[in-house]
Each structure stands twice: as structure tokens, then as C-alpha cells.
Chains A and B, each alone.
Chain A
Amino acid sequence: MNRLAVLIARETALAWGRGGGPLVALGFYAGVATLLPLGIGPEPERLAAIALGAAWVALALASLLSLERLFERDYEDGALDLLVLSRTPLELTCLVKCAGQWLATGAPLALAAPVAAIALGAPPALAPLVLASALLGGIAFAFMGGIGAALSLGARRGGVLTAVIVLPLFVPPVIFGGGALDSFAAGLPWTGGFLLLAAYAAAAVALGPLAMAAACRNALS
């Protein structure tokens, strides 16, 4: 248990400190949310129509940003070899890594998501649901993204490759979260989409680490 606590502390500290931590993701998120009205036009009704979807898609994009360094830093300095050799199962290590990634980028982004949605013109009553689905969606993005990051270890231009691998896998959470928000805004039953998003996040947490560990072992073999 002690080993696990140390690992959690290490991964969270690294995720917070890694290249500016949550600030970079938040800055990127703010940038995308600013560019959207500039590209679409300032009319409030047009912006309000896309506010929720735009805030949601920008979240998926922002969570791609720091994925590249999730495993790469440990791969380059040899820490990943030690993590593989340690008595903690590599699957558990990968799970802790992704949880740290979520704490450092997913959770701060989730706090920023309602702000962005309201700034784009979504009704403030939606803020709790935006926050909740962004928290859940962030888990799915972090664990699915971890698979892409682990697979592209040692690749040329790993960052772009991670995005290419991960974006098709982001389709279900983007759809479920966006659907739940849209239904809620339209006054329709929204729990279906929300629960599907939660199910996808849970499946990503359960199965993602297996793929990540296999990919890490492959990269080090």
C-alpha cells in the first residue's frame, strides 16, 4: 500500500509539474473557446446554438495536449524500466499514471468547462451538468489517451501520432456527453447519455490499463 501511495504522489506531482501542468491545457482551452466566436461571428443566438458542443469538443482537444509526455518522459530517462521491474503490476502503475493525468488536466479543465460554456451563451442552469459530464468525460479521455500515448512510445513525431490514434476512440464519449447536454438543454430526458458516458469512462478505466501495460512492455522489449 505504501508503494502505491508513493507512486500516486510521484505521478500527481509529475503531472502537475510536467511542462506547466494544468496551465498549458487551460490556456489552450481558453484559446480555442476564444477563437470559436471569432471564427463564427459574435451573434449571441448563433453562438448559443453551438455553445455546449463547442465547449465539449474543445475539452476533448485540450485533453490531447499533455498526453504526449505521459509515458515519454519516463521512457526517455529510464524510469519506465524501473516501473516495469517493480513489484507493483504495470497495469496498476498505468492506472495511477492516467489518474494523475486526469487530476492535473482533466479536473481543472472540467472546472473551466462551465465557464467557457456560459461565456459562449449556454444557460447558467446547465453549469452543474457541464461540470459533471466534463469530469466523467475527462476520465474517458485520459484513459483512452493513455493507450495512444503508450502505443506511440519511441515513434517519430509521437505527439501527432497520439492524436491520430486517439481521436477515433474519442468518438463515443464526445457523442454521449454532447447528447446528454443537448437533451438537457432541450428539456428532454438526459440521463441516458450521461449514464452511457459514465459506462464508457468505467470501461476505459477497467480495460485501458491492460492495453497501456502491453504497449509499454512492447516499447521496452
Chain B
Amino acid sequence: MNWAPAFLSNPDRFMAFSRWAAPMFGVIALVLAVVGLWMGFTAPDDYQQGATVRIMFIHVPAAIICEFIYACLAIASFLALVFRHVLADCAAQAAASLGAGFTFLALVTGSLWGRPMWGAWWVWDARLTSVLVLFLLYVAYLALRASLDDEAKASRAAAILALVGVVNLPIIHFSVEWWNSLHQGSSMFTKGALAPVYLWPLLIMNLAYLSAFGSLWLVRIRGEVWRRRAEAAALRAMGA
């Protein structure tokens, strides 16, 4: 994977690559989502959860990918902070709002699943709580970015926050697990082998989310690059 940032660090090469890669990932995501959802909806009802089990195909991939996006955000922030690379900064900015969106989706679908299963919209389970804190970290990143007027300063301050967050995330996860095992015996998630009828659609949906994120990420980075180019052009025109 080492070659990818080096190859794509040239904006022109990145724009040429993403021009066809973004729609390609989008089509892959669409096909995979249709297949995965079709398999998911035709799978038999779970003997315990009934039809509610189908929320899993929307929910679990979202919960997985929101952590993955934070890793992308942290790597992009690191590259932007250390190498002052504009594309990396665009990538961090684009990843943050997508990450907040996927985290929100995971929280909402989890809540919808929790109501019939646990009888409560929200329980203070360790995993729910750490996803909620992850959402708050995304919100803090976006708020910091939005409230600094100087764009270069905003991007570097936000990158520092993303890196502080990446140091803190494992500690937050650990502390929430510790807190939960202290307060109540965790029996919410009994781990059993997932039957293949559920495992396959879940895996396909995971890949669908991954390509959807890839596509949306590239599109948003492209948009950000165009916006900056337009601003630079406007400044040049004013100066001329």
C-alpha cells in the first residue's frame, strides 16, 4: 500500500485516477448492496430475533466502517500535518463528514434494533457508548474546522485534534469496557457462530459499504480540490 499515497500525491494524477475510480467504486457498491440486501431479505427469519435480524445488514457494516474511516482520517491528518500536503488535507476533511454520517447511521440503526430486542431505544452498553464517543469526536473535529476562518490554520488545528483523538480512542474504548464490566455484567452480546445464510450477506454488505465509502470519499476529495482551484482562480482574477 506504500505506493498508493506516493502515486496519488500528485494532484493531477489523483484527479485522473479518481475520475474513473469514483464511479467504478460507486457501481461496485450499488451492485454489492443490491445483492447483499436481496440475500439478506430472502434469508429466513432468525429463531430469536425474527425479521429484526435484517437490521444487522445495515447496521454492522456501518459500525465497522466508522472506525475504519477514523483511521483514514488520522492517516490523512498525519500526512497533512507533517508533509503539508494539500490533497491529504482535502482527504481528511472529506473523511470527517463521511465518518460522522456513518457513525450516525450506526447509532440510529442500532437504536431501531434495540427497541424491539432490548425493549429500549438506548442502553449504556460499552460498544454503544464508545460509538457515541466516536461520534462526539467527529463532531468536535467538524466544529473546530468550521469555526476557524483561516483555512490553513483550521486544517492544521483539526489535524492535531484528529491525532490527539487517535491516541485517545483506544483509551476511551478500554475505559468504557472497564466501566461497563464494573457496573453490570455484560450479557448483551452472546457470541455464537453466525449461520452462513446471515454471514454471506453481511460480508457482501461490508464490501458494499467499503466501496460506497471509497466512492463518496473520492467524489468529496474531487469536489474539495475543484473548490480550492476555483478559489485560487478567483484570487488570480482579482489580482490581475
A binding-site residues for B, Cβ under 8 Å: 147, 151-152, 154-158, 161, 164-165, 167-169, 171-172, 175-176, 178-179, 182-183, 193, 196, 200, 207, 211, 214-215, 218-219, 221
The 8 A-B residue pairs whose C-beta atoms are closest, nearest first, are A172-B175, A168-B136, A155-B147, A175-B179, A175-B175, A218-B156, A165-B140, A151-B157
- The count of chain B contact residues (Cβ–Cβ below 8 Å) is 31
- Say yes or no: A164-B175 contact (C-beta < 8 A), given A171-B133, A183-B182: no
Identify A157's interface contact among B140, B147, B153, B161, CB under 8 A: B147
Set of chain B residues within 8 Å of A200, measured between Cβ atoms? 171
Other A-B pairs, 9, CB within 8 Å; known A154-B150, A179-B182: A151-B157, A151-B160, A152-B157, A165-B144, A168-B136, A175-B176, A182-B183, A196-B175, A211-B164
Q: Is the CB of A171 within 8 A of B175?
A: yes
Q: Is the CB of B147 within 8 A of A156?
A: yes
Identify A219's interface contact among B133, B157, B164, B179, CB under 8 A: B157
A–B Cβ pairs within 8 angstroms, 6 of them: A156-B149, A164-B136, A164-B143, A169-B165, A172-B174, A196-B178
Q: Nearest Cβ distance between residue A161 and chain B, in whole angstroms?
A: 5
Q: Is the CB of A168 within 8 A of B182?
A: no
Provide the bound-state CA to CA distance between A219 and B167, in Å. Answer: 22
Q: Is the CB of B168 within 8 A of A169?
A: yes
Set of chain B residues within 8 Å of A221, measured between Cβ atoms? 152-153, 156
Q: Mark B137-148, 1 if CB is under 8 A from A, else 0.
A: 101100110011
- By beta carbon, the residue of chain A nearest B161 is A151
Q: Is the CB of A152 within 8 A of B182?
A: no
- Say yes or no: A176-B157 contact (C-beta < 8 A), given A168-B133, A207-B167, A211-B164: no
Q: Nearest Cβ distance between residue A14 and chain B, in whole angstroms?
A: 23
- By beta carbon, the residue of chain A nearest B141 is A165
Q: Is the CB of B137 within 8 A of A168?
A: yes
- By beta carbon, the residue of chain B nearest A211 is B164
Q: Is the CB of B171 within 8 A of A161?
A: no
Set of chain A residues within 8 Å of B171, measured between Cβ atoms? 172, 200
Provide the bound-state CA to CA distance between A154 and B147, in Å. Answer: 9
Q: Is the CB of B168 within 8 A of A161?
A: no
Q: Is the CB of A175 within 8 A of B178?
A: yes
